[in-house]
Structure 1
């Protein structure tokens, strides 16, 4: 294995020039900048001795030409809007560096992990969990535009979609920035991921009565906004009694209708989610949520309705891959690493349905991600690359 960390950093720097926004990148899926980056990556794969293909959903796949056992490694290269330069790109360029080092690695940039058009379109397509009907129904989350014309405009219409080859891969690896502060706060440089959390997402709809803010007495009001606030406060008070240490919950969207300062809200719609690595813990949180909605309906004048809108199961990382990464981390940065769960979701969660998976984290400065100021120290990027390569070597030889 002849790892070239200088070339690894050069490739990262080159990729960030495509779609540059301030110190970050703006490369939404299937945008001109995104497609430019995919073709750039395919050329780099060919230079590294891989057979490169861009498939019908935008996956960029570099196939190793030699004998196995093979690893699958990668992440994504599209970004959130006006976001960072490392989220996703680090895992793809790290995988490319593994191939350049001579390891039997297939490299993949999975399309649309960031969800501009759906949920994990690229990795779901690879594992056989994306139908033609799913493609017909897919819409852009910002504009509502259908996916099919966007694929045609990107030059992908009519191309076949790749599928994982049965028995080819011993496992799948993904290197990523932490997107949190645990490593930085602890003075650590490497995180060996134990598993990827599951997510349960809900829509909470509260129906009230739209009315005048001055003419309607407090006794008469059915204020959906106040009912929503009280329900969210109850959730925040009760969830700590049933959650685990790393459980998290978020109200990412609050819509009030008509959302005008002189009108009592007649309707509130909330998008609420929670995450944990344990199904048992999430079951407790779900039961608590249902109980709190029932209690709200008993007390409030505005009835609340709970709708499940999304669910992903936790994905434990493979013990053998974890052991290889732990051994590599201890050899290269003794005492400066830890095991940790991933609180964010990744393509590896989808790949885990078919393959043993493992992930490696490097620190995020200030924990910042999904923002153009996202960054990681170059020495931490280089160390992460060395640990990934040594972990891959150990796992392949095990």
Structure 2
């Protein structure tokens, strides 16, 4: 069977219509549109000759019934709220097209990569690292609804949760949009991912004195908000001295208490994170952050307390898969590709605990993602599919 890029594009367009929002998609995990997309995918898998299952946590798995060796390929179907039409689903439909082209590939849509209900609950479950206690504890990040209740409501509670056998696979592949501007800015069309960055996340709690904005003199004030601003300014001044070229850092949350126009903030909460591929760089950034907080406490009237609240380790892509992607890219688009790290995290980072992994990027127009205007040129989608298929053939010896 031949690769059919027209069929591949048609299915991307069909998936886009499920939960459409402006030019993007709104399909949060376990919403009616999300479940419709899962059932739609399972039907497509069956048509492709795969044995399709929607398991007890929402993973949609299509098992190839023929002889191996096999590859696992896929990504996710759900979206961020009012977000783009390619993030995740590109890798799912690309994996499906590999199977329809006759390659021995198991296809999976890993449930909830977008973390509406927790961190990678689908891929963690698939590798046997999401326990019943984890199921009990999981809640929706916006409503607080228990995961188990949601599974009952969508009709999949009590189903078996699939766990893969790593010995079945030569590796796991994932095609994805870049979600950045590196390829577009360089005039390139394919990115061969070398690794997925690590993340460390911290909470910084700053304690001042809540007081009246008119009656409290500037000399008397202990303004937690001003201390927070100055501390963040120190980070932006010092981090460039010790980071690497692709290091990034973000203050994703700034919460003042009581957050009222006529009251001096008595407390500030900052949630701060940074990312890089190299452990040494991450350690330097963590040490620098600790020094900055210590210096803030030396200078300021409002003490700050630093707490690490989360971390994920980097996942290095398998050299053989990187080589296969590189050779395929050079065959399909000579000189128009590069090796690069992934600054975003993906299910492949979880699968890497059990399997060799590899990722392939296609450009994002303007670098936009997690927004309804996210897009990629159709010719780049087709090229990505062709490179993915060529690399899969090389890995399988087909």
Partner SS, residue 73 of structure 1: strand
Count of residue correspondences: 398
Partner SS, residue 167 of structure 1: helix
**Alignment correspondent of 2:392:** 392
Partner SS, residue 164 of structure 1: coil
Q: Report the Cα distance in structure 1 between the residues aligned to 2:124 and 2:202, rounded to whole angstroms.
A: 22
- Could you list the per-position Cα deviations for residues 222-269 of structure 1 after superposition, in whole angstroms to 9, with x for gaps in the alignment? 100000001100011111111111000000110001111111001000
Q: Report the Cα distance in structure 2 between the residues aligned to 1:196 and 1:3, rounded to whole angstroms.
A: 28
Structure 1 residue 272: Cα displacement: 0.4
Structure 1 residue 299: Cα displacement: 1.1
Partner SS, residue 382 of structure 1: helix
Q: Report the Cα distance in structure 1 between the residues aligned to 2:269 and 2:277, rounded to whole angstroms.
A: 27
**Alignment correspondent of 1:202:** 202
**Alignment correspondent of 2:60:** 60
Is the contact between residue 176 and residue 361 of structure 2 (CA under 8 Å) also seen in structure 1? yes
Is the contact between residue 362 and residue 384 of structure 2 (CA under 8 Å) also seen in structure 1? yes
**Alignment correspondent of 2:95:** 95
**Alignment correspondent of 1:228:** 228
- Could you list the per-position Cα deviations for residues 53-86 of structure 1 after superposition, in whole angstroms to 9, with x for gaps in the alignment? 0001100000000011000000000000000000
Residue 77 in structure 1 maps to residue 77 in structure 2:
yes
**Alignment correspondent of 1:300:** 300
Is the contact between residue 328 and residue 387 of structure 2 (CA under 8 Å) also seen in structure 1? yes
Note the 1:255-274 alignment, pairs <5 A.
255-274=255-274
**Alignment correspondent of 1:247:** 247
The TM-score normalised by the length of structure 2 is 0.99
The TM-score normalised by the length of structure 1 is 0.99
Q: Report the Cα distance in structure 2 between the residues aligned to 1:145 and 1:297, rounded to whole angstroms.
A: 39
**Alignment correspondent of 2:148:** 148
Partner SS, residue 374 of structure 1: coil
Structure 1 residue 153: Cα displacement: 0.4
Q: Report the Cα distance in structure 2 between the residues aligned to 1:396 and 1:214, rounded to whole angstroms.
A: 73
Note the 1:1-398 alignment, pairs <5 A.
2-397=2-397
Partner SS, residue 350 of structure 2: helix
Structure 1 residue 129: Cα displacement: 1.1
Structure 1 residue 166: Cα displacement: 3.6
Structure 1 residue 156: Cα displacement: 1.2
Is the contact between residue 166 and residue 354 of structure 2 (CA under 8 Å) also seen in structure 1? no
Q: Report the Cα distance in structure 2 between the residues aligned to 1:75 and 1:396, rounded to whole angstroms.
A: 20
Q: Report the Cα distance in structure 2 between the residues aligned to 1:131 and 1:302, rounded to whole angstroms.
A: 41
Runs of 4+ in 1 over 4 A off after TM superposition: none
Structure 1 residue 148: Cα displacement: 1.0
Partner SS, residue 219 of structure 2: coil
- Could you list the per-position Cα deviations for residues 141-177 of structure 1 after superposition, in whole angstroms to 9, with x for gaps in the alignment? 1111111111110111101110011410110000000
Q: Report the Cα distance in structure 1 between the residues aligned to 2:301 and 2:133, rounded to whole angstroms.
A: 41
Q: Report the Cα distance in structure 2 between the residues aligned to 1:58 and 1:252, rounded to whole angstroms.
A: 29
Gaps of 5+ in 1: none
Cα RMSD (Å) = 0.8
Is the contact between residue 206 and residue 303 of structure 2 (CA under 8 Å) also seen in structure 1? yes
Q: Report the Cα distance in structure 1 between the residues aligned to 2:56 and 2:240, rounded to whole angstroms.
A: 45
Partner SS, residue 118 of structure 1: coil
